[in-house]
Amino acid sequence: MSARQTQGRIFWGLLLIVVGVLFLLERMDRVDFGDLVSRYWPVVFIIIGISILLNNARENAGGGIFFILFGAFFLLMRLRILDHSVWHYAWPVAIIAVGAWILFKPALGPGKKKFPELTGDDLDLSLVFSGTKRRVDSQDFKGGKVEVVFGSAEIDMRGARLASGGATVSLSAVFGSVEVIVPRNWQVVVEGSPVLGSIDSHKGTVPDAEKTGTLRVLGSAVFGSIDIKE
């Protein structure tokens, strides 16, 4: 069993034990389960965020961080530590969320599956509150990353060729969009889970006789969109 599977098993096992104990205490008239749920329901989002970080941190770190911050914010509201309306705190919380994503995304990155050192044949693009269109014409494309926060990026790879072992790109969109256009004869494999966003591949299947390589896409979309097309 892998370390990730072990972490997930322990996490969900402990969670079920806690829920069971709460039900038991309610049957013993020691706690009011309904009152606990009405007051502490945001904890569910924190648990979801922790689960994402334990099981899918490399591909969807932004999603895990978002759920944790979202749950923590509404928990503070329910406990009346924050005593104004939600919209009173909306922009400061959004800025905090983006800052946390920028800080923790590299630390929760691919780890041992790190991208090759960036060269002229690689892609390295980070945008905050801006947009760009980029054309990649490398004839030995090795991979890279595109990170967009409150912005947009359009990457045209139709003039590029993949390195002999294929390539991996990491695409992240937080309150923004990333669009990648690839050649028809590339096979594209997409991994990732959106959080209140979308990750879509409109790339058709390529016959083995026509395939010139495989592009692996690791996607993370939080209130954003990632589109792969040919």
Residue where one domain finishes, among candidates 78, 107, 136 = 107
> Which range marks the domain in which residue 140 is found?
111-229
Which residue type does 85 have?
S
Instruction: Indicate if 7 and 65 belong to the same structural domain.
Output: yes
User: How far is the C-alpha of 82 from the C-alpha of 85, rounded, in Å?
Assistant: 8
Considering the domain architecture, whether residues 81 and 179 belong to the same structural domain is answered as: no
Render each residue's pLDDT in the chain as its tens digit; 230 residues. 445 455 556 666 777 787 788 778 778 887 777 777 777 888 888 877 777 666 555 555 666 777 787 788 888 877 777 776 666 766 777 777 677 666 655 544 444 444 444 455 678 888 887 888 988 888 888 888 888 888 899 999 988 888 887 888 888 888 889 999 999 888 888 887 777 778 888 887 778 777 888 898 888 887 789 999 98
Helix (H, G, I), strand (E, B) or coil at 160: coil
Residue entry with tokens 């669009």: 179
Dihedral pair phi/psi, residue 154, rounded to 5° = -120, 120
- Sheet hosting strand 198-201, strand order edge to edge: 131-135, 152-156, 177-181, 225-229, 198-201
- Report which residue type is found at 192: G
Domain identity same for 115 and 225: yes
**Alpha carbons within 13 A on the beta-carbon side of 148:** 27
